[in-house]
A and B are shown apart, each in its own frame.
Chain A
Amino acid sequence: MLEEVVISRSKFQASQIGLQALTVDRSLLSYTQGSSLAELLRHLAGGQIRSYGANGLTTPSFRGTGGSHTAILWEGINLQSPLSGQMDLSLLPTAVADEVTLQKGGAATLYGNGAIGGTIQLENKASFGQGLSLSTTQELGSFGQYYQNYQVAWSGPKLYSRTQYFRREVENDYTYENTYVRPVRQEVRRNASIQQQGLLQQLDYQLPGNHIVGAKVWLQQNDVQVPETILSGDDTEALQQDDFARGLIYWDWTQDRLSLTYKQAYQAYRLVFTDPSIDLNSNSTFTTWTHRLEGEIDLKPGIQWIGGINYIREDAQVTSFGGEVPFRNRLAIYQSIRWMPEVLPWKATLSVRGEAVDGSSTPIIPALGWEYTPISGFTISGNYSRNYRIPTFNDLFWVGSGAMGNPDLLPETSWSGEQSMQWAGKLAQQGTYRLRATAYTSWVNNWILWRPLETGIWAPDNVKQVWNRGLEASAHAQYTWGAWSFQGDVSYNYVLATNRQLKAGTNERQLGKQLLYTPRHEMSLLLQVNWRGYSLLTTATHTGQQYTDGENTEVFALPAYQLANLSMHKSILVSGWTFDLRGSVNNLLNQPYENRRGYPLPGRNYSVALTIKFQNIP
């Protein structure tokens, strides 16, 4: 059977050395197929994912950074809104990707704007020569969850085509315990439903002479009710409608020592926020148009040059931009030298990126990565980089609701460094293990925050410098014993993210204090067991205490919590047909928890799913 490949992955982006990544493949993704990426990542990365409730705005926070400091990329294209700098992970069903990669640490030379704390990469795969496959998934779960997915894929010798339609709805009328009132009372979450549907089409075609061309389209509609904090007494009816269309075309050509890739991507996004109770109707739209040309040349055996040019045009139309219709042209040039001699235990890469935003340039940012393997199985590595994030359109142009943008904002910049050690080896004859430890440090300058001016109007400013540092340790093992196979992962993260410098006029008692919603300690565990078509997966996370105010007041802190999830799969193969039955229990311990104050997440809940797949082997 041919291996699936990610054809259109950027060569430049794949050239990283000295950064650590966690790849979630389809087998793991399938356990949470009917839910969102937010839920999957909450299972895997605990408190590094912050959610305003079950389907509320969800953003990552890697290594002490904020929600706009992690670049979220689909096929290498940045999905972050130029308005808010964020992409809501709760809107992204896990079904839209075949592979999800979480990579922590600054990587803006590779991924560009916003990759200060890390990146989340979504990729679609293609395979050739496998014939026709049809599949459908139906999933039912607690709180009115109903998910359906239909796929048709044709995998010819030269052509791969896949069409996918999904529809997902969750009422989210779950019961939680309101501990903010006395006596404590059981309440049912209201105005928290989500309804979404989407269509994805992918085409990849191999041409003679090592050319591959392709196109992808992703259309999605989302109606998301926006609940309020349970500390508020209002009966909100707020509704957010997010509709977006994304499309890309690419061409890839590989010769002996040269390869070229051209990619063009377009994204149109419309967000309508309404709240009839206060007669609010706010409209935002934006489009981004990306063009990217990249080349890779083998200069000598073991030495490669990779370079590229990336142009993005961003346009926005927002009710609250006061008639301003902002747009900007962003042109980035980047290149990298990669040195990977076959005979020596060293690898290194040096890269540099510069971006001009409408004539004014962001800082030139360099990165250096290296790896050294003195003995087989033991590797030490490092990566040092400068990174940046340019102000968003909201930061620059917002007017209204007592707030006003600041056109004089500077880009945020950071210096990051990390050092890793890895030990990998065999476990008896049928197993492998890997131990890894990483220490990192990062200074983020000109951190943008909104705060009230003397007039009472809120405005953003480059307020502070933040120092993030910490440790990450993980162990991975897999083992096969007869018909049994086991896989286990355990990880621990420690992060100190503190205010190092504050602009005059801010509360100086925040100096040295941990950032809001940044737990110091976080642990996760994953265990998977397979036996004759049965498989069992458990994940567990521990998220430490989190502060919710700038001075780390204990009484406002969110308590630590433990989450555990359990899933069971059974696959049956009958002449070309696969029946896959799954049952899941989430939040097994029925732990009440929040990772945004006043936005409770659901207690124990269940789902069952059936996938039927037909594969016509040619």
Chain B
Amino acid sequence: MKKFFTHRLFLLAALLLTMFSACDPATVEPDPVGTEGFYILNEGGFGSGNASLSFYDRTTSTVTNNVFVGANSIPLGDQAQSMAIFNNQGYIVVQNSGKMEVLDLETNTIVATVSEGLISPRYFLGVSDTKGYVTDWGVDGVNGTVKVIDLTTYEVTATIETGQGANNLILVDDQVYVVNGGGFGRDNSITVINPSTDAVASTITVQDNPNSLQIDSDGNIWVTASGHTAFDPNTFEVIEDASTPGALIKLDANGNVLTTLSYEEVGFSKSPDRLQINAAGTTLYYLYSGAVYSMSTNATELPTTPFIDKNFYSISVDPFDDTIIGCEAPDFFSAGNIEIYSTMGTLQATHAVGIGPNSCIFK
């Protein structure tokens, strides 16, 4: 059984957006010369239309910036939220441009642009050779949905209602798990969808505002939830009684909550986010309170000391060597950096990338 899940993981690795958890070198075709490495998606400044795509080349340890505009002669758009690699194509979801660019990864050129039917899209997941799902926040950032995309025509063919602020999603055991992160509202659910019928199979209740998820080597699903921060809009003072803390939640493959490791403190930045996992599927990494934390999937308590005591906009874990990559965005009108850390948490290299780097995507 365990082996089955592990094998499944290898397949998923190619599909999933923020899951860099596994990659079987034996099943991966060698990359063309100079393309072995990973992409860095740079969100850009909201309203400035300066989202961009960078590429890190492992053989030379150098970053090439602006590969999208270089290949296509148009900028990527406004607020690039995520990129996924599926069937050797890149799917870049550009939230404020309300579109998804589909890239040929050999040339980085546009294969198709999906915009009709997408309003405020967040993440892409390929569920079959001919079908993909894109989560969408809707006009008001509250009415979350999943848009069904026909990958032969690149058109939105159906809409599935989920919870508020439908965010990240993964495919586990023929079921799609969508975390409803709240968006501009509030939610505490995970929507489970059957991708063969596009019907909602069930809804799982968890801590407030689940935002990201990963699958571990035991086939369990880990979720980070932000919790809810209630505050006086006049003073930004946190109202503790009305707030709920963030948490890490472990579910089994059937969606049953096994463990909820809850923080005690509430407030801004007291929200675990950007959950990542190493290639073996045994160590979790996430952002919390202006630092990076790591935790074993066997842990029964939350870690108390940071793994890297630095504030990042986002983190990624490289499935090739388990290095931890911190995305640094000092502001959103000039370029940010990626910082590459060893598995011991030692800084190894820093590279300038584009404006507001928000994730690394591995080929």
Chain A interface (Cβ within 8 Å of chain B)? 179-182, 228-229, 231-234, 277-279, 322-324, 399-400, 404, 449, 451-452, 454-457, 505-507, 509-510, 516, 548-551, 553, 555-556, 597-598
Q: Which 10 A-B pairs have the closest CB atoms?
A: A233-B98, A550-B334, A322-B234, A231-B49, A455-B268, A323-B234, A231-B78, A455-B269, A507-B334, A451-B331
Q: Is the CB of B335 within 8 A of A507?
A: yes
Name the prevailing secondary structure of the A interface residues. loop
Contact with B66, one of A179, A548, A553, A598 (Cβ below 8 angstroms): A553
> A233-B118, A597-B48 given. 12 additional CB < 8 A pairs?
A182-B74, A232-B96, A233-B115, A278-B139, A452-B332, A454-B269, A457-B268, A507-B334, A550-B334, A555-B69, A556-B50, A597-B50
Q: Is the CB of A279 within 8 A of B140?
A: yes
List, in ascending order, chain A residues with CB within 8 A of B311's CB. 454
List, in ascending order, chain A residues with CB within 8 A of B25's CB. none
Q: Is the CB of A550 within 8 A of B335?
A: yes
Bound CA–CA A245/B113 (angstroms) = 49
Bound CA–CA A192/B255 (angstroms) = 49
Chain B interface (Cβ within 8 Å of chain A)? 45, 47-50, 52, 65-66, 69-70, 72-75, 77-78, 96-99, 110, 113, 115, 118-119, 139-141, 232-236, 268-269, 290, 311, 329-336, 352, 355
Bound CA–CA A180/B78 (angstroms) = 11
Q: Is the CB of B335 within 8 A of A454?
A: no
Known pairs A181-B74, A277-B139; A229 contacts B47 (CB<8 A): yes
Contact with B96, one of A233, A322, A323, A506 (Cβ below 8 angstroms): A233
Bound CA–CA A556/B73 (angstroms) = 11
Bound CA–CA A451/B335 (angstroms) = 13
Bound CA–CA A278/B269 (angstroms) = 25
Name the prevailing secondary structure of the B interface residues. loop
List, in ascending order, chain B residues with CB within 8 A of A451's CB. 330-331
Smallest CB-CB separation from B73: which chain A residue?
A182
List, in ascending order, chain B residues with CB within 8 A of A180's CB. 49, 74-75, 77
Smallest CB-CB separation from B77: which chain A residue?
A231
20 contacts between A and B (CB under 8 A): A181-B113, A182-B110, A234-B119, A322-B232, A324-B234, A399-B235, A400-B233, A452-B329, A455-B290, A507-B330, A507-B334, A507-B335, A507-B336, A516-B333, A549-B335, A550-B331, A553-B65, A555-B52, A597-B49, A597-B50
List, in ascending order, chain A residues with CB within 8 A of B140's CB. 277-279
Q: Is the CB of A231 within 8 A of B330?
A: no
Smallest CB-CB separation from B329: which chain A residue?
A452
Bound CA–CA A6/B93 (angstroms) = 58
Q: Is the CB of A231 within 8 A of B331?
A: no
Residue of B66, B98, B335 with most partner-chain A CB within 10 A: B335
Q: Is the CB of B268 within 8 A of A229?
A: no
Bound CA–CA A52/B26 (angstroms) = 53
Contact with A233, one of B45, B99, B236 (Cβ below 8 angstroms): B99
Smallest CB-CB separation from B50: which chain A residue?
A556
**How close is B301's CB to chain A, nearest CB, in angstroms?**
25
List, in ascending order, chain A residues with CB within 8 A of B115's CB. 233
Smallest CB-CB separation from B110: which chain A residue?
A182
Bound CA–CA A506/B328 (angstroms) = 11
List, in ascending order, chain B residues with CB within 8 A of A279's CB. 140
Known pairs A231-B75, A455-B269; A549 contacts B98 (CB<8 A): no
List, in ascending order, chain A residues with CB within 8 A of B236's CB. 322, 399, 404, 457
Bound CA–CA A535/B60 (angstroms) = 66
Smallest CB-CB separation from A178: which chain B residue?
B74
Bound CA–CA A324/B113 (angstroms) = 47
**How close is B45's CB to chain A, nearest CB, in angstroms?**
8
Q: Is the CB of A233 within 8 A of B97?
A: yes
Smallest CB-CB separation from B184: which chain A residue?
A278
Smallest CB-CB separation from B354: which chain A residue?
A553
Bound CA–CA A234/B332 (angstroms) = 21
Bound CA–CA A400/B235 (angstroms) = 9
Residue of A182, A507, A510, A548 with most partner-chain B CB within 10 A: A507
Residue of A179, A182, A279 with most partner-chain B CB within 10 A: A182
Contact with A182, one of B72, B330, B352 (Cβ below 8 angstroms): B72
Known pairs A180-B77, A454-B290; A509 contacts B98 (CB<8 A): no
Smallest CB-CB separation from A228: which chain B residue?
B47
